[in-house]
Structure 1
Amino acid sequence: MQSTLTRFFTSLLLLACLTVGTLQAQKVPSPKEHFGFAIGDDYQLATYTQTEAYFKKLAASDRVKLVDMGLTEEGRHQYMLVVSSPANLKNLEKYRSISQKMARAEGLTDEQARQLAAQGKAVVWIDGGLHATETVGTHQLIETAWQLVSRKDAETLRILDEVIILLAHANPDGQELVSNWYMREANPEKRSLDHLPRLYQKYIGHDNNRDFFMMNMKESWNIGRQLYVDWIPQIVYNHHQAGPAGSVVAGPPYRDPFNHVYDPLLITSIDALGAAMNNRLNVEGKPGYTQRAGSVYSTWWNGGLRTAPYFHNIIGILTEIIGSPTPAKVPLVPQRLIPNGATPNPIKPQDWHFRQSIDYSVSLNYAVLDYAARYRDGLLFNIYRMGKNAIDRGKQDHWTLYPKRIEEITQAQRNDSQKSTPTGTGSTTGTLATKYYDTVMTNRSLRDPRAYILPASQPDFPTAVAFINALLKSGVQVQQATASFNVAGKAYPAGSYVVKTAQAFRPHVLDMFEPQDHPNDFQYPGGPPVRPYDAAGWTLAYQMGVQFDRQLDDFDGPFRKVPYGELQVPKGQLGTATAAGGYLLSSQANQSFLAVNDLLKAGVEVLRLTEGTATEAVGSFFVAANDQAKAVLERLAREQGVAVRAVAQRPAALAKVTPQRVALWDTYGGSMPSGWVRWLTEQFHFPVEVLYAPDLEKEDLRSKYDLVVFVGGAIPPLATPESGSSSYSRRDPKPEEVPAEYRTWLGRITADKTIPQLQKFLEAGGNIVTIGSSTNLAYHLKLPVKNALVEISSDGQEKRLPGEKYYIPGSILRVSLDSTQQAAWGMPAACDVYFDASPVFNLAPDAIARGTLKPLMWFPTDKPLRSGWAWGQAYLQNGVAAFSAKVGKGTLYAFGPEITFRAQAHGTFKLLFNQFYATEVPTGVVQGE
């Protein structure tokens, strides 16, 4: 009996211990208990190492599921917390499936959609830390997660019941760098975020918020997979800072213009959510929210974490808030003290602490989550409705109301005004006005496409596949031909890709293929332009040089649907080469350069065709048949889809390829354009060494390097019309202000010290590539080159064209090329370039005649605009966009357009890659034999 009782009480004790243990396992520590300080305490920042550990502790809660989204570029784990009620977390797959079905809107009736909306849960994405120096973002994420996990108030419980919350860390590497940099100072009052030594996301820093339709970076694809493939939330909330001076936070709604491909329901949904956010702050006595014209943010541009969702019918929210761990002030900005529609509740000048920004951010998060909880079924149905609208538009004749179409209507009225109104007033009403509308907006040749076809036979098919992968990462439905087919009398081979517009993400499809038509936007008639928030035009198919056909009528064929998000690898084939022959790789294909670099690294000799043939472009690569070459090429054909053609005979007119010893300029604090080039060269296996200004001033530069690359921002301008403004200042820290390991990075390129060394480098046989503003080097070297974008003022002096006459923000323009020159081998006779207020030149005719200056790219027409906004584009006609110049034994290459822009401009990569090789005629071989 005693033994039985003992066992009974032992069992009870064990059960009690297990119960207590379970309860303790679910109790998570507060931030202060974990970090040693409360989130928002002055002079305190958490590192990512600490944050990662805290996220793992939060995962002990039954309200949390921890998801590893993937590794970052520096190899850290990037986490997302899925937060909801315990009951919802047990059914996550059900709710994720509903979210996907509603967003894709495939095969659903309205009644079925309403039933699913009633069954589903709203899905809301909230991120933090994308721009790591904007420290509010990461810390509000930590605080919000803690409050959602620990609070038991009615509002929080209702939110958890109705909403699946995705709390995502956007930039782990950046948080680790920035927080360690700030906290390195023992004295809290001396802590500062200033003078960070390198970019806070590897390679691209701030441009990590410019990568969300390309998703080159690992972090971008980790996020994109959740947004467009796995979860497809109805709301995406992207936290940033800082708000405009004199306010606390800028948020929705945003200023015009918005992109013409959106469903109107998207814009009104942004307005509604913005009102809920503004209202909450006002209820809680938190003034200083500004919107619309109160800030610079618009809804035009694609590529940001909150803007790319617009093209997927997702409500994208951006807030920009003030705040720093170092206390600051809300400054006096008198014009912001008058209540108006932009800032209905102004804030007075005052001291400001980090915790206040955290509290505002948590309130804004709760406003979004409360809205999602209250309108859960409406959000789900509305994303379906926008997707269904998109599918319907793609299935029938549809005309998008672009500004150019409205201008065509207006012009038709003008042309006919004398006939229609005898008084000559030009006014038209009733049926006459309808006639002009019908002339344009029912013109069948101006319809939106039903589909796009990317032929597998195009010269650079691997780049076309890279474009397709960008679409797949964005959740676009893609089809591939399993056999050859015909459309509109044209034959297409098997393997070709088809992208139809009858799909939910039609706005994104149109945006990637069609030109953007940015409206003419000026402060007042005849006044200066209103700068777009980012690019005005970016059409990815144009940037990548992809060949595609627009189809205005529907068609079908032997097509398979590629699973959503399943990235493609082109199928490379390697034929059998005879002993007398070898292998050819086309100079028109970017992947050929990757193959050449791997071959050279393996010790295989590579040659280039110095003359084109009937079947092969000039500059194509030849490799003699041998086992070593075959092994490398077989691997590349299998893994990279490199196109290789076996030939039975060695071509004539060959020159040996010698890799250049390449240096790439960078600067203390980091250059984003330089980081993009560094990433790009790594992808194509070019060995490149990074140099800083002090390295360029050394006498041994030529003995170490054959080629130096300067991206935009490296070479300072002259104070002349040729180069524009002389303002080029950014204070570098003093050596004693930074750790010793970074001091060799300090310094700037100067006219008195650096430029003479670069001239010596060129004269001794070195080559230099300059891009964008760094083409200023041509003026420093006093080459016979002038700025083409000037006019003669009343005093007879040259001055730059004012914005009222000429203004081209980031846009796509068409140029002609001289592809017979080695610098442009593999390029077509005309191509699209990314142009962002880029330099344009006039070259001295006698220098061209002598061959010391050679135009590489130029504008042959007065209307080169392909996508975006180009005011006064006629000024570009006959202007030179790129040239080469002999300087002693070396060559300077000057590319005005951004030929490597954000690693998106695949169509112009070859203009850089070609310069990474020297070609030498082998001994004993006569050119032309």
Structure 2
Amino acid sequence: MVQKILLSFMLALSLGISAVQAQTIPTPKEHFGFNIGDDYHLATYTQTEAYFKKLAASDRTKLTDIGLTEEGRHQFMMIVSSPENLKKLDTYKSISQKLARAEGITEEQARALSAEGKAIVWIDGGLHATETVGTHQLIETAYQLVTRKDPETLKILDNVVILMTHANPDGQEIVSNWYMRNPTPEKRTLDNLPRLYQKYVGHDNNRDFFIMNMKESQNIGRQLFVEWMPQIMYNHHQRGPAGSVLAGPPYRDPFNYVFDPLMITGIDALGAAMINRLNAENKPGFTRLGGSVFSTWYNGGLRTTTHFHNMIGLLTEIIGNPTPEDVPLVPNRLIPNGNTPFPVTPQKWHFKQSIDYSVSLNYATLNYAARHADELLYNIYRMGKNSIERGSKDYWTLSPKRIDAITQAYQTDQKKATSGAAASPDQYGLLPRGGGMPVKYFDTIMKAPVLRDPRGFIITANQPDFPTAVKFVNALIKTGIQIQVATADFAVAGKKYPAGSYIVKTDQAFRPHVIDMFEPQDHPNDFQYPGGPPVRPYDAAGWTLAYQMGVQFDRVLDGFDGPFKKLPYGELQSPKGHLDGSAVAGYVLGARANNSFIAVNDLLKSGVEVYRLPNGAGDKSGVEAGSFFVPSSAKAKALLDKSINDLGLDVTGLAKKPTTSMIKVAPMRIALWDTYGGSMPSGWVRWLMEQYHFPMQLIYAQDIDAGDLKKKYDVIVFVTRAIPGLGNAGLGRGGDGEFAGGREPKAEELPSEYRPWLGRITADKSIPQLKKFMEAGGNVVTIGSSTNLAYHLGLPVKNALVEMTASGQERPLPAEKYYIPGSILQVDLDSTQQATWGMPSKTDVYFDASPVFKIAPDAIAKGQVKPLAWFSTAKPLRSGWAWGQSYLQDGVSAFMAPVGSGKLLAFGPEITFRAQAQGTFKLLFNQLYGLK
């Protein structure tokens, strides 16, 4: 009897506590003053943070601060699950880690852990802050998960740990304040945001996740790849294809060839659950597969990087904004097909509809995870185990170039045998009458021993820019890759390596990501139809990070071992610098190391003299052209000691002053072009200038048009899309994208502080001022399409990528003949010139439909134009897709031209691309010093 009374008391107490807790959780309307999804209303991040702290009062939540943003705000991840699960979070996190890494776990142990664990599901919102559905669906979903008591929600909470993460707090604050600034709701607009919604990179914050330069990326990456390793991650975006409500999984081909098939079919399964739920709820307009542009080829996005970690990464792109809009009439979307089984009809669309769709999609994902928790946990283990097995034996990754080689070998043999034309296989490799090829072509070509995937990679510690190599290693570490370091000298395959070298083996769970960061991407030739235009990749076609960063490494095809120590997961590395030699006269810093420029800028700021050595240091071997020389002094020694320690620089002490010529380095007054609304390429350069301690000022079109530039600046940097084109000679119209709303805002429509940012570079006003600037001794650096400036100036250069029409007119090569989306190509360099000091004679560059030039020989002979980099072969492709690449041969990709007392530097490739292309940073940095 006493026991029954006690149980009744405990139950009443429990219900009372639950009731009190429920009363402490306000509805969104009670907190924000409006319902989530109400037309003409957006919540700021300040309001959202306060609301999430109120939701944290629930026993279903745990609010976690995952780090600071670039603007210093706190970035939160709310963990939602049942009260019982929250008490055992460490256990479920540990299970998730063990299964994802699949190290030393047997099949039986994996099954047992899968049964014990809970599915981990990531749901984020707001990465692209102008896509306002993302942050607001996160708020509404969190509220519903915290307060609903229906059987489905309770089942989800019992079986799933949900990681609800705000992806861009700064952006929500900027965008919501901009929208809500107008007191009249009907006049509110997202158009013409004055600056990027991420401090430096705006929309490119979703292209940062394999290098993680931005703080927000680092915060998110640590949770995804080191801490939690969710089996499912759901990344909310906008905008759906016209005539549909949203685009979602599964996605169109191609998918990356390094993926485990279970990841792809896992996306298929979740996609089916999502579209089925919407159909059951009579919510039409879900488009998938070839109905949208989204694929699973690219690495580097928040969703896509998870694919290379065996996680089922989901993306939806939905319509909807706080200002009502229309679903347009797109006739070819109205007939049901496999892409869009349930079309939506034209109608007025409200913000609340998009929120409701998003909550349904979240619940579909969570319901699937709750029903299949053990399967999801086991499958991520199975994918990791498959990766370990592939990296432990001879394995060949399939790719289009291998298939082409098989076809070519077969046709060559057939021609020899028949002394005529061979029968051509169809797209499936079948011969007429359905016959296949002999298997020997697979065995001898596809499985050629030399074409095996590597068992690992060695990053030697004695390369010229080891600190940048360590930055590459840290990028791998931040994405959860297992790294080993040599504790002593060792040898592999007859080659010796020093202690401190890094080893990255491929027998690990996240092998797809390892392969993707070191090996070239082989994008297929993808055309709308034979002989037709190419199908543009969703983002880049090739991006191999080791190539972009100029890292020297060796591929090892056979198993190997040595005096290697495994580093703890997530433990970032710092290079160790050294001072070699006796520094009686001074010190030398190599020009090959990017970090040398940080040290030099710190020295210059402190008033220490620095010189460059155009011809090296005479009798001192290993001192290359362009190296920096710092005369001995107590201040110089103190600053260099700090650089050796903090930057990992190797500094050489000289007993006597170099006998070769020296040129004194002078800091320059640097201007960097930007524009109203913000330029992402400019933002990346601004960020890297801050990282490398170059002082700079932003400059806008109005500043340029006002003239007298040489009084204020010594060098002006124009990133791509700043300078407009000039007929067929140039690329693009200039300006960084379109203004939202289709027009540049009028000054009177804007707060006064933003008005000086308006305007574009124009041929009639801006170009004459830039010409005067150079004639007066100023230098202009142009990157990408901004090399159009050369045509405006009338320099003796031409577009190399043209053809003659039947009427004798030049036109740009059509895409059916020549097409190179974002890929990595190799160029030759004249590394003896001041502009290219510190560069090797060949280097990899990021090329995205970049300009290529033809220079008349007499212009070179007369010194009117000096080539800096060029394509010496017909096959410069290193990674990605380069259709018609033979047109590049002998084309010039970078040059210098004197203009009056100044000069123009033109770099066609994207030498600062997304702060990933660290191997070509020096092509910018060299231009930012005055030499006397």
Fold shared by both chains (TM-score > 0.5): yes
Aligned to 2:459: 454
Aligned to 2:809: 797
Seen in structure 2, the aligned counterparts of structure 1 residues 795 and 638 have a Cα distance that, compared at 3 Å, is same
Summarize deviations over 1:550-604 as a string: whole Å, max 9, x none.
Answer: 000011111111111111110112357443x211110000000000001111111
Say yes or no: does 1:284 pair with 2:281. Answer: yes
Paired AA for residue 874 in structure 1: S
Shift of 1:329: 1.2
Which residue of 912, 915, 918 corresponds with 2:930? 918
Shift of 1:912: 0.1
Say yes or no: does 1:782 pair with 2:787. Answer: no
Structure 2 contact 548–844 (Cα < 8 Å) conserved: yes
Summarize deviations over 1:489-546 as a string: whole Å, max 9, x none.
Answer: 1110000000000000000000000000000000000000000000000000000000
Structure 1 contact 574–633 (Cα < 8 Å) conserved: no
Aligned to 1:620: 627
Aligned to 2:549: 544
Which residue of 604, 614, 621 corresponds with 1:610? 614
Structure 2 contact 277–364 (Cα < 8 Å) conserved: yes
Identity of aligned residues (%): 71
Which residue of 491, 496, 500 corresponds with 1:495? 500
Seen in structure 2, the aligned counterparts of structure 1 residues 25 and 785 have a Cα distance that, compared at 3 Å, is same
Q: Matched residues in 2 for 1:748 and 1:285: separation?
A: 47
Paired AA for residue 761 in structure 1: F
Say yes or no: does 1:162 pair with 2:159. Answer: yes
Which residue of 224, 233, 239 corresponds with 1:236? 233
Say yes or no: does 1:199 pair with 2:204. Answer: no
Structure 1 contact 599–629 (Cα < 8 Å) conserved: yes
Say yes or no: does 1:893 pair with 2:928. Answer: no
Say yes or no: does 1:598 pair with 2:602. Answer: yes
Q: Matched residues in 1 for 2:16 and 2:652: separation?
A: 69
C-alpha RMSD of matched pairs (Å): 1.7
Structure 1 contact 25–60 (Cα < 8 Å) conserved: no
3-state DSSP of counterpart to 1:610: strand
Summarize deviations over 1:357-405 as a string: whole Å, max 9, x none.
Answer: 0000000000000000000000000000000000000000000101100
Alignment of 1:526-537 (within 5 A): 526-537=531-542
Structure 1 contact 331–349 (Cα < 8 Å) conserved: yes
Shift of 1:725: 5.3
Shift of 1:23: 2.6
3-state DSSP of counterpart to 2:835: helix
Seen in structure 2, the aligned counterparts of structure 1 residues 497 and 664 have a Cα distance that, compared at 3 Å, is same
Paired AA for residue 180 in structure 2: M
Structure 1 contact 723–776 (Cα < 8 Å) conserved: yes
Paired AA for residue 642 in structure 1: L
Shift of 1:422: 7.9
Say yes or no: does 1:688 pair with 2:688. Answer: no
Aligned to 1:629: 636
Bigger shift: residues 347-356 or 417-426: 417-426
Alignment of 1:249-260 (within 5 A): 249-260=246-257
Aligned to 2:302: 305
Q: Matched residues in 2 for 1:515 and 1:425: separation?
A: 31
Say yes or no: does 1:878 pair with 2:890. Answer: yes
3-state DSSP of counterpart to 1:142: helix
Aligned to 2:6: none
Q: Matched residues in 2 for 1:420 and 1:553: separation?
A: 37
Aligned to 2:379: 382
Shift of 1:780: 0.3
Seen in structure 2, the aligned counterparts of structure 1 residues 648 and 158 have a Cα distance that, compared at 3 Å, is same
Bigger shift: residues 697-706 or 246-255: 697-706
Paired AA for residue 899 in structure 1: I
Q: Matched residues in 2 for 1:876 and 1:477: separation?
A: 39
Say yes or no: does 1:722 pair with 2:726. Answer: no
Summarize deviations over 1:245-301 as a string: whole Å, max 9, x none.
Answer: 111010000000000000111111101100000000000010000001110000000
Aligned to 1:561: 566
Paired AA for residue 485 in structure 2: Q
Shift of 1:700: 2.0
3-state DSSP of counterpart to 1:452: strand
Alignment of 1:358-369 (within 5 A): 358-369=355-366
Seen in structure 2, the aligned counterparts of structure 1 residues 418 and 673 have a Cα distance that, compared at 3 Å, is same
Which residue of 843, 846, 867 corresponds with 2:858? 846
Say yes or no: does 1:478 pair with 2:483. Answer: yes
Aligned to 2:824: 812
Q: Matched residues in 2 for 1:18 and 1:390: separation?
A: 49
Which residue of 493, 497, 511 corresponds with 1:506? 511
Shift of 1:679: 0.1
Seen in structure 2, the aligned counterparts of structure 1 residues 370 and 421 have a Cα distance that, compared at 3 Å, is farther
Q: Matched residues in 1 for 2:364 and 2:437: separation?
A: 49
Q: Matched residues in 2 for 1:624 and 1:759: separation?
A: 37
3-state DSSP of counterpart to 2:220: helix
Q: Matched residues in 1 for 2:519 and 2:65: separation?
A: 36
Structure 1 contact 592–643 (Cα < 8 Å) conserved: no
Alignment of 1:667-746 (within 5 A): 667-719=675-727, 721-724=728-731, 730=739, 731-746=743-758
Say yes or no: does 1:226 pair with 2:230. Answer: no
Shift of 1:889: 0.3
Q: Matched residues in 2 for 1:61 and 1:517: separation?
A: 50
Which residue of 638, 641, 655 corresponds with 2:645? 638
Shift of 1:698: 2.1
Q: Which runs of 5+ in 1 are unaligned?
A: 1-11, 921-929
3-state DSSP of counterpart to 1:538: coil
Paired AA for residue 509 in structure 1: V
Aligned to 2:3: none
Summarize deviations over 1:380-438 as a string: whole Å, max 9, x none.
Answer: 00000000000000000000101100110000001001355688553769896201111
Q: Matched residues in 2 for 1:17 and 1:336: separation?
A: 53
Say yes or no: does 1:573 pair with 2:578. Answer: yes
Paired AA for residue 647 in structure 2: Q
Summarize deviations over 1:74-120 as a string: whole Å, max 9, x none.
Answer: 00000000000000000000000000001000001111100000000
Say yes or no: does 1:248 pair with 2:245. Answer: yes
Summarize deviations over 1:439-498 as a string: whole Å, max 9, x none.
Answer: 112211000000000000000000000000000000000000010000011110000000
Paired AA for residue 368 in structure 1: T
Paired AA for residue 644 in structure 1: V
Aligned to 2:5: none
TM-score norm. by structure 1 comes to 0.96
Paired AA for residue 500 in structure 1: K
Which residue of 261, 268, 272 corresponds with 1:271? 268
Seen in structure 2, the aligned counterparts of structure 1 residues 163 and 845 have a Cα distance that, compared at 3 Å, is same
Structure 2 contact 734–761 (Cα < 8 Å) conserved: no
Structure 1 contact 238–318 (Cα < 8 Å) conserved: yes
Seen in structure 2, the aligned counterparts of structure 1 residues 109 and 421 have a Cα distance that, compared at 3 Å, is farther
Aligned to 1:131: 128
Seen in structure 2, the aligned counterparts of structure 1 residues 170 and 412 have a Cα distance that, compared at 3 Å, is same
Structure 2 contact 734–785 (Cα < 8 Å) conserved: no
Seen in structure 2, the aligned counterparts of structure 1 residues 525 and 431 have a Cα distance that, compared at 3 Å, is closer
Structure 1 contact 584–622 (Cα < 8 Å) conserved: yes
Paired AA for residue 682 in structure 1: E
Paired AA for residue 275 in structure 2: N
Q: Matched residues in 2 for 1:493 and 1:861: separation?
A: 34
Shift of 1:648: 1.4
